[in-house]
Chain A
């Protein structure tokens, strides 16, 4: 199959799937089967693209403006993100079946339909060939995830949706769009090119401003102070939080940051002009501050949300360290953090379905009643902390190596301190679950069982995945070095 057709199919498959899901809405089992079938098909399609080593095939979808096509291409970082998102879609669909049915949620068809559309948008972001296409699919992603965030339809959900949409649209229109047009005006085109497109086209004095416009404009990367949407979006059902906020939406954000850093600015150009310095400090501040806030949160999902804010800034910080090692570390962190975080969110959701508990202080001793869930949670926590034997170790390793080789000792300290903070706010949860006596009486605690089977299966798979990635990190590494050198 032609690579170009394959590229277009990655967008069309989930969209078409959305239509089929809507059609099958009245028969839940059929509908769930369509979801899983579509996600498997998409994953196979992305794997096919990974096999194609023919460099840059470009598929043009449409040309709204003269000289500005909406086009897709294969490129290492993009393929990495596409693989992670499509692979985890399969697992999240399985998880969602357990969660939505276990919780008796309303409007399940609407949920699955917009999920599929959001994945299509995420594919568009991943495979975009120019900044304009990235921007368009980025906006579509914001809009298609809104119904997911406000799924519950309560006043709280509506308020959360307002913050979500408000911050994301405000940042993308006010900063991202302006940065985009500015880049276009300066460079004459917006295609992602190795080595960047701005060298010589723009006055270096303005470069830090442009970097700031992009980084703040990509609100999905949750750089402070534009991070509030992420905790606000926790009002959504956990499968939404899991995939979209631990994988697709936030990863689309940091992916965009990384891609623009490497292919629009060019790592070398940024390093020469020193335009990365301000944003490096902003990212570092976000890492520490978000971890500190996470320490104060008793609500499990809120704590995980702030943890995500902090971890996302690892990736931004890696990008802003502007050397190839750090960039590779940042790219790996996209994958490893995705696996770790999704495991944690899956566990949070499983706990909610089984016990209706949301606060960590209520979750003492649950580990004995829900051993599989808590074991997975332990692995997820270790991956985020970055202990060896979990995938998170490698990404942290390369990030710290990058900081050292750039001689940014302050940044190295930031990574180390935040690792300690991670231990502090994460390890508490499995420790209390396994070692502390349960709060409730033995009668009720005996009645607690694991969450429905699909959910438990899913979280087990992702937990195992965290460990597998430790041993099989080589393909990831190879893919990413291709990007930063090729």
Chain B
């Protein structure tokens, strides 16, 4: 049965398609290949999620070698959910990417961009699906290297320095993860995640394990852009091509947050991470600081893409806050926000890409009057913005609700009020764009609405934003089962 091999096919298909893209040089053919592989991955991930949800976790031994000596892929509801997010976003954004990349890259060898895309997808899916700690490092580097490549393809020459900066910081982060894994291997003799979780408690009092914890925490936090290790993100998101930003904003940081969850709740037991090493206090403080400082910085940006990039760092702060609350509701909130933020930011960055396609700039002043000349695009931005603010009936409200609930369960008033107050900061920076778009007069140049191939994927995500905001049962279900799994309550 081919479905038993789904875990490895999830990763193998994009991996094999990538060199195929190098061979087929034609732009349309490689785009079709990338899109179809991405869609097949999406279908596989849905099947894996359904299986993990109904029957329990799936374990797959690579090459038939038994764990813990062989590499094992382990799929439970947590990572299946993230798999769905990543492959789904990749598929939707690829539909958008064809025209957008053609316009922004304008290079003859665009098939190489699709190669990079598929490698990035491979890496992200691989990190999520694997059950072996070193395998995480390998796939992490695969996805990181290909994202450095994709970012550097941006139309502005600052994309090059942004990619370089990301390369340096990302490599340091990944190497820290490598060190952490190495130290763990030194103390336990195994790399398999399940085996590690069994063997660590015996040695968890040693300095080596504490050091491993610290290195891992730093490395993962850097890749996830947790404040204050977020420095690479604003530049990388601003100067990358629109489709790449949409894809990465919706997937790369999500996978890193998943790694945080996996390492600190599954491998190191919850009691070690939270009680002994007090990670939750650090995450709580960093989360709150991230939310406020980054939202404030976002308000003062005049490049809208950069503004949304800082907003993304603030949203990572929300996820980290949920994890720091460490209760079933808190972690449910964090996992819900993984999904919801992917939908929100994916839609917002795609809407920005539509605007860039027509007016060639994303400075706030240049967006004057765009509400009249590009009504559908601007409306998409407004709805996505409302979702970011957390207006009820959108997906952003669902995450905020669970965060407030998690804070009130601990009787932490002040935290609930802080979460809500931060939404108001989002109102300020979103409304600056709304006012520029609708209240300023349009310049005289002829500007048309964006083409359908850009609008339709954007609106697909916007509709998803509203749909999952009105009917959040499904996502809440998955998220709470995942949280229960992580906390060992199921």
Contact = CB atoms under 8 A, between A and B. Distances in A.
Interface of A: 62-66, 70, 135-136, 139-140, 143, 150, 153, 155, 157-158, 162, 165-166, 169-170, 173-174, 177-178, 181-182, 184-185
B398 to A, nearest CB: 7
Given A166-B427, A173-B421, 4 more contacts: A62-B470, A169-B427, A174-B424, A181-B405
B417 A178 contact: yes
B392 interface: yes
Nearest to A135: B392
Interface stretch (B69-77, B106-114, B155-163, B471-479): B471-479
A66 B404 contact: no
B187 interface: no
A66 B427 contact: no
Ranked 4 nearest A-B pairs via Cβ: A136-B392, A173-B420, A62-B470, A181-B404
B439 A150 contact: yes
B392 A139 contact: yes
30 contacts: A62-B470, A62-B471, A64-B471, A65-B472, A139-B392, A140-B392, A140-B393, A155-B439, A157-B439, A158-B439, A162-B431, A165-B427, A166-B427, A169-B389, A169-B424, A169-B427, A173-B390, A173-B421, A173-B423, A173-B424, A174-B417, A174-B420, A174-B424, A177-B404, A178-B413, A181-B401, A181-B408, A181-B416, A185-B405, A185-B408
B386 interface: yes
Given A143-B386, A158-B439, A64 B398 contact: yes
B391 interface: yes
Interface size class of B (residues with CB under 8 A): 20 to 34
Interface in B420-448: 420-421, 423-424, 427, 431, 435, 438-439
A182 B386 contact: no
A170 B421 CA distance: 8
A64 B466 CA distance: 11
Contact of B421 (A62, A70, A174): A174
Contacts of B438: 153
A66 B473 contact: yes
B469 interface: yes
Nearest to A157: B439
Contacts of B390: 173
B409 interface: yes
A63 B398 CA distance: 12
Contacts of B435: 158, 162
A181 B413 CA distance: 11
Contact of A63 (B408, B424, B439, B473): B473
A177 B386 CA distance: 16
Nearest to A68: B401
Nearest to A64: B472
A135 B397 CA distance: 12
Nearest to A162: B431
Interface string B82-107: 00000000000000000000000000
Contacts of B439: 150, 153, 155, 157-158
B471 A143 contact: no
A150 B393 CA distance: 23
Contacts of B416: 178, 181
A75 B134 CA distance: 63
A62 B394 CA distance: 13
A140 B469 CA distance: 14
Contacts of B389: 169
A174 B427 CA distance: 13
Contacts of A150: 439
A362 to B, nearest CB: 30
